[in-house]
């Protein structure tokens, strides 16, 4: 383990602890390191308080050999990262002529005098190395001390990201030279429960390389396969047979891999087939249309839809006859069928989806309880209607219904 | 400090350290706690490894008196949060009849046998208290041990969030709220930029009790006023003059307070006035309808809408004449106007909203760049059209447009 990267990420900034901003650096840096076979074991965030930042360094240096810190390198009195590390390492801060020169040039290039407070940014921890910042005033710093590699990077993502890619990653690769590639593959399933899958993969989850682990998903099921090897190609070669086995066991439920989502896969399939889609939504109230149109380029296959929250809309824009609404009710197999067929006919699309149900919390009856949903999927030849019964929150009923509808649409395309 | 909340958040899950998912819980929980005047000092994330989770608890219990843990409560062998805390506290895990009953009912309600492995979820740390989970199998747990309050919550956001709001926040308020009342008031503004506000409140943000702080908002601006006093009434009395001053300065932009959202405020106003709404969406593609129907009871005032992604839908369902689409284009003042009027007329509602624009990333031209949006709001007497130009991501364009539309609708009701 001595020569293996055990990285820890520390984000500095009280605005993170107040929930005012999301610490998106943690995900970005972790992902970049993982792609390079470098392991991250801890994430942390701490406020603009010198004692607490110093303690975070103390804890990190006991358990990690790489500490990447973001934020707290600005010119204000609240920016304390450098000061805290200097104190922790018991090293002085010294003026760097190179850093001062960079600052001068930065401001000169903007026809501005350097404000006096920015001079603070030219101070570096003694024995450290500057990390050039092409997009801002704060230089980064690299310091090696008693077995720990510290990298200090500024908070703004447009400054931090190129510094990570141009300096930190090459340096870490150099240090942990016999690097192992760490590759992951995520499989997405729908129509099957997590516990059903879990029971059938215990032989696979017991493995150490590759590992197989379920990930949390709402209305779907994700499995992650992760392998390490001395090259990306051989890591992928380790993943392949496990993926093949999972496809053999759960193939009918697999809808995508890695960054795929149900809306993106539906979009890709429709584009390939040069087919189109329209949707008629009652209880999901526009959520399905919104998920579809989240995808850039969706206008190529998604023509639009009708949010038929009120029965008058189901009649007026979708031609659901009043007597069906009267006899079977708005939440019924017949209404879902007629909504799917109605929107498909009105918008002249290859497929039409119709959704009607009771998302709750109110509106349920004994015969038609909260969580009852009908999903209709229509093409030129047929209409399939699925009856779903959920016992989850309003938001979950809506989201799961939309995913089921897309999953059933994929089924009709097979 | 002894009786002041010093909270630490720990997210458990290797997928977070691999950068596969973003630890969005940290921001959400921090923000909820901040709104309640509860302080968070540390965020951390750790993988699915019992020893490392235990060490995280060890470190946290030395410096924090509240530890909120998310994730790792599932039925699989990778789910180790409970086991790690039990080991750290040196307490056994015991079968909870109540938790088992909940699990049995959960599966019975789904006409399924409980898988054997889910039995694991019925085990609780001895001396702990169950936190009910209405939306999933994993109960949460609350354990108090040697001065530290531990809250274990499941990872899926739709399960975790209500548990935080319904159990954790009231409990923390009970624990830390009795000596000193710590009251917050959040004011919501729309139609004014954060930097405009910031510059005009520097006299108020300098105060110590109450404090005034901006909170993160997308397409809106939030200010939190927080006061401490020996009673809730006197804390509120401290807040009142500051709120009055903010209302004096920014009154025209204020749309709500505390948990209000634009869709909830619009819903309340429409209900009070016994008026109705319909929407016609092009570039927002159902997002506005979805935001409106997120609100329970929205069927009382929201009749429905048309997602007119394709021009044929704008013609066929909204009666936008072909020659207008030809002459002015789909993204134009005239089209937005006709969409708002068309949907209002077709659905016979008091108000109609029409939205057309270019959310990007593709589809822009020199005359009509990405981020150009027209929003029309119509009632019986008039139609107002607003031209917006954004320079943000597709998702942000869509969300900000929807908020602007609701904000403009509120303006028409005044």
Report the DSSP beta bridge partners of residue B359. Answer: none
Distance (Å, whole) CA B26 – CA B205: 25
Indicate if B76 and B148 belong to the same structural domain: yes
- Compute φ and ψ for B88, nearest 5 degrees: -65, -40
| Contact status of B364 with chain A (Cβ, < 8 Å) | no
Vertex B25: Cα angle to B23 and B30 (nearest 5): 120
The answer as to whether A82 is a domain residue is: yes
pLDDT at residue A179, rounded to an integer: 62
Q: Who among A42, A182, A309 is closest to B304 (CB)?
A: A309
Which residue of chain A comes nearest to B287, CA vs CA? Answer: A290
The DSSP secondary-structure symbol of B114 reads P
Query: Is the CB of residue A210 less than 8 Å from the CB of residue A167?
Result: no
Distance (Å, whole) CA A217 – CA A157: 28
Cβ separation B362–A296 shorter than 8 A:
yes
CATH code at position B209: 3.30.70.2860
pLDDT at residue A216, rounded to an integer: 65
β pairing state of A383-389 and B6-12: unpaired
* Best CA proximity match to A406, nearest among A324, A249, A295: A295
The answer as to whether B1 is a domain residue is: no
pLDDT at B1 over 60: no
Domain that holds residue B192: 181-257
Indicate if A222 and A241 belong to the same structural domain: yes
Q: Is B177 exposed, middle or buried (0-12, 13-18, 19+ CB in 10 A)?
A: middle
Q: Which residues of A touch B405 (CB under 8 A)?
A: none
Question: What CA–CA distances, in Å, run from B399 to A76, A294, A326, B355, B371?
Answer: 33, 11, 37, 12, 12
Write the pLDDT tens digit of every residue in A184-241. 899 999 988 777 888 889 899 888 899 898 876 788 988 989 898 888 899 999 999 9
Looking at this predicted complex, what is its ipTM? 0.78
Q: Which of B134, B137, B218, B289 to mutate to test the interface with A (most CBs of A within 10 A)?
A: B289
Angle, in degrees to the nearest 10, between helices B394-413 and B262-273: 30
How many folded domains does chain B comprise?
A: 3
What are the tokens at A138? 């704060």
What are the tokens at A132? 């050039």
* 318-347 in chain B: CB under 8 A from chain A: 346-347
Cβ separation A304–B302 shorter than 8 A:
no
Indicate if A339 and A232 belong to the same structural domain: no
- Compute φ and ψ for B72, nearest 5 degrees: 80, 20
Indicate if A266 and A252 belong to the same structural domain: no
Q: Locate tokens 């824009």: which residue? A: A317
Distance (Å, whole) CA A62 – CA A277: 57
- Our CA-based measurement puts residue A330 at a distance from the nearest CA of chain B, in whole angstroms, of 13
| Contact status of A364 with chain B (Cβ, < 8 Å) | no
Query: Is the CB of residue A56 less than 8 Å from the CB of residue A47?
Result: no
What are the tokens at B121? 């979820």
β pairing state of B148-153 and B66-70: parallel
Compute how many other C-beta atoms are within 10 angstroms of the C-beta atom of residue B310: 22
Angle, in degrees to the nearest 10, between helices B24-35 and B169-176: 40
What are the tokens at B76? 């699989």
Cβ separation A307–B286 shorter than 8 A:
yes
Query: Is the CB of residue A373 less than 8 Å from the CB of residue A312?
Result: no
Q: Locate tokens 């270019």: which residue? A: B358
Q: How many residues does chain B have?
A: 414
User: Per-10-residue mean pLDDT for chain A, 414 residues long?
Assistant: 81 87 90 84 95 96 97 87 97 95 87 84 95 89 96 90 94 80 89 82 88 82 89 92 96 93 98 98 98 95 96 96 96 98 98 96 92 98 96 91 97 93
Residue B109 banded pLDDT, cuts 50, 70, 90: confident
Last residue of a domain, one of A224, A257, A290: A257
pLDDT at residue A108, rounded to an integer: 87
* 127-186 in chain B: CB under 8 A from chain A: 134-136, 155-158, 162
What are the tokens at A331? 């939440």
CATH code at position A278: 3.90.950.20
Distance (Å, whole) CA A7 – CA A169: 12
Q: Which residues of A touch B12 (CB under 8 A)?
A: none
pLDDT, average across residues B158-163:
94
Cβ separation A304–B304 shorter than 8 A:
no
Residue B216 banded pLDDT, cuts 50, 70, 90: low
Q: How many residues does chain A have?
A: 414
Q: Who among B71, B78, B310 is closest to A303 (CB)?
A: B310
Distance (Å, whole) CA A189 – CA A414: 16
Residues whose CB is less than 8 angstroms from the CB of residue A219 and which lie 6 or more positions away in sequence, other chains included: A190, A396, A399, A400, A402, A403, A404
Last residue of a domain, one of B240, B257, B274: B257
* Best CA proximity match to B3, nearest among B31, B39, B29, B36: B39
Indicate if A240 and A343 belong to the same structural domain: no
Indicate if B232 and B266 belong to the same structural domain: no
Write the pLDDT tens digit of every residue in A78-130. 889 999 999 999 999 999 999 999 999 988 887 778 888 889 999 999 999 99
The answer as to whether B338 is a domain residue is: yes
Indicate if B372 and B235 belong to the same structural domain: no
Q: Which residues of A touch B134 (CB under 8 A)?
A: 393
Indicate if A196 and A140 belong to the same structural domain: no
Indicate if B301 and B323 belong to the same structural domain: yes
Q: Which H/E stretch holds residue A353?
A: strand A351-357
Residue B179 banded pLDDT, cuts 50, 70, 90: low
CA count, 13 A, side-chain hemisphere, B357: 32
The answer as to whether A1 is a domain residue is: no
Indicate if B237 and B338 belong to the same structural domain: no
Detail the DSSP E strand segments found in B272-350.
277-281, 302-308
The answer as to whether B227 is a domain residue is: yes
Indicate if B269 and B407 belong to the same structural domain: yes
Last residue of a domain, one of A175, A198, A227: A175
pLDDT, average across residues B295-308:
96
Distance (Å, whole) CA A161 – CA A167: 10
| Contact status of A399 with chain B (Cβ, < 8 Å) | yes
The answer as to whether B126 is a domain residue is: yes
Q: Which residues of A touch B20 (CB under 8 A)?
A: 31, 184, 186, 215, 224
Q: Which residues of B touch A199 (CB under 8 A)?
A: 115-117
Vertex B46: Cα angle to B143 and B82 (nearest 5): 30
Q: Which residues of B touch A391 (CB under 8 A)?
A: 106, 109-110
What are the tokens at B394? 């597709």
Q: Which H/E stretch holds residue A24?
A: helix A24-35
Indicate if A240 and A272 belong to the same structural domain: no
Tell me how many helices (H) and strands (E) chain A has. Answer: 16, 17
CATH code at position B61: 3.40.980.10
The answer as to whether B110 is a domain residue is: yes
* Best CA proximity match to B27, nearest among A40, A61, A214, A43: A43
Q: Which of A45, A207, A218, A264 to mutate to test the interface with B (most CBs of B within 10 A)?
A: A45
Collapsing DSSP to helix, strand or coil, B179 comes out as coil
Cβ separation A216–B284 shorter than 8 A:
no
**Average pLDDT for chain B:** 92
């Amino acid at each position: 383990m001595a020569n293996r990267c055990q990285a820890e990420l520390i984000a500095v900034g009280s605005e993170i602890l107040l929930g005012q901003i999301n610490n998106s650096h943690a995900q970005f840096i972790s992902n970049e390191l993982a792609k390079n076979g470098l392991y991250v074991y801890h994430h942390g965030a701490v406020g603009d308080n010198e004692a607490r930042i110093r303690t975070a360094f103390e804890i990190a240096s006991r358990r990690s050999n790489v500490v990447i810190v973001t934020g707290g390198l600005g010119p204000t009195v609240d920016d304390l990262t450098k000061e805290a590390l200097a104190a922790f390492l018991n090293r002085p801060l010294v003026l760097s002529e190179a850093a001062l020169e960079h600052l001068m040039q930065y401001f000169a290039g903007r026809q501005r005098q350097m404000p006096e407070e920015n001079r603070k940014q030219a101070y570096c921890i003694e024995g450290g190395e500057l990390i050039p910042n092409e997009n801002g005033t704060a230089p980064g710093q690299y310091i090696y001390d008693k077995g720990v590699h510290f990298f200090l990077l500024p908070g703004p993502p447009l400054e931090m990201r190129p510094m990570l890619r141009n300096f930190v990653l090459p340096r870490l690769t150099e240090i942990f030279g016999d690097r192992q590639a760490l590759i992951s593959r995520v499989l997405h399933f729908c129509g099957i429960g997590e516990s059903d899958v879990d029971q059938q993969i215990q032989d696979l989850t017991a493995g150490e390389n590759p590992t197989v682990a379920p990930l949390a998903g709402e209305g779907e099921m994700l499995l992650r396969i992760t392998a390490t090897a001395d090259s990306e190609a051989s890591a992928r070669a380790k993943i392949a047979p496990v993926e093949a086995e999972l496809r053999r066991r759960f193939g009918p439920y697999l809808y995508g891999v890695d960054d795929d989502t149900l809306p993106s896969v539906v979009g890709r399939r429709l584009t390939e087939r040069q087919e189109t889609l329209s949707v008629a939504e009652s209880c999901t109230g526009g959520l399905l249309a919104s998920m579809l149109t989240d995808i850039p380029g969706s206008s190529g296959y998604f023509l639009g839809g009708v949010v038929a929250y009120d029965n008058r809309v189901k009649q007026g824009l979708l031609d659901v006859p009043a007597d069906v609404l009267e006899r079977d009710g708005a939440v019924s197999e017949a209404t879902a069928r007629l909504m799917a067929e109605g929107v498909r006919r009105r918008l002249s699309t290859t497929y039409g989806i119709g959704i009607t149900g009771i998302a709750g919390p109110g509106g349920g009856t004994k015969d038609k309880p909260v969580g009852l949903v009908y999903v209709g999927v229509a093409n030129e030849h047929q209409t399939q209607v699925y009856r779903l019964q959920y016992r989850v929150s309003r938001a979950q009923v809506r989201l799961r219904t939309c995913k089921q509808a897309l999953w059933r649409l994929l089924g009709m395309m097979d």
